[in-house]
Amino acid sequence: MAEPLQPAPARPMTVRVHSAVGTAVVLWQGASEAVAREHHVEWTVDTDIAWPGNAWPSASETPELRDDGDHILFRGRLALAEDGVAVLELGGPVILFDLAEPPLPEGVDGSWVEVRVAQDRVAVWPYEV
């Protein structure tokens, strides 16, 4: 469920998204009248994974989503696809990331990682199942 927050003038609406693994304030890409209802959402993250700049190994093997100042912290299991895309699995939901240079270190595929992304680079798009 998304909880409306006060939008800033001339900026996209932000919402607090509640999920099974945590909450975070993100940009809302749906109709404003749909905000206070429960939705399935597609996550869009407009940031590449840059190791170790915004991604690193996690000491915990528990998926998590949370605010971290003006950033969002995602913790999940990372899978690398052959097409150069990384998939972060958050206990069910998945988020796709592109990979920055240099390449990720050996052995990171299948490991638990944390990825920290600026809040204004994360959006959710509601959809019907």
CA distance 61 to 125: 27
pLDDT tens per residue, range 44-90: 999 999 999 999 999 999 999 999 999 999 999 999 988 888 999 99
Please write the tens of the pLDDT for every residue from 33-45.
878 788 888 999 9
pLDDT for position 117: 97
| Token pair belonging to 65 | 């989503």
Q: Which residues pair with 61 in a beta bridge?
A: none
Supply the pLDDT for residue 54.
96
Q: What is the pLDDT of residue 7?
A: 55
SS (H, E, C) 27-49: EECCCHHHCCCCCEEEEEECCCE
Question: Which residue from 60, 6, 37 is spatially nearest to 124, judged by alpha carbons?
Answer: 37
**How much is the pLDDT for 33?**
80
Three-state secondary structure call for residue 15: strand
Q: List pLDDT tens digits, range 90-104.
A: 988 899 999 998 889
pLDDT confidence tier of residue 12, bands split at 50, 70 and 90: confident
32 beta partners: none
- Omega cis (within 30) before 126: no
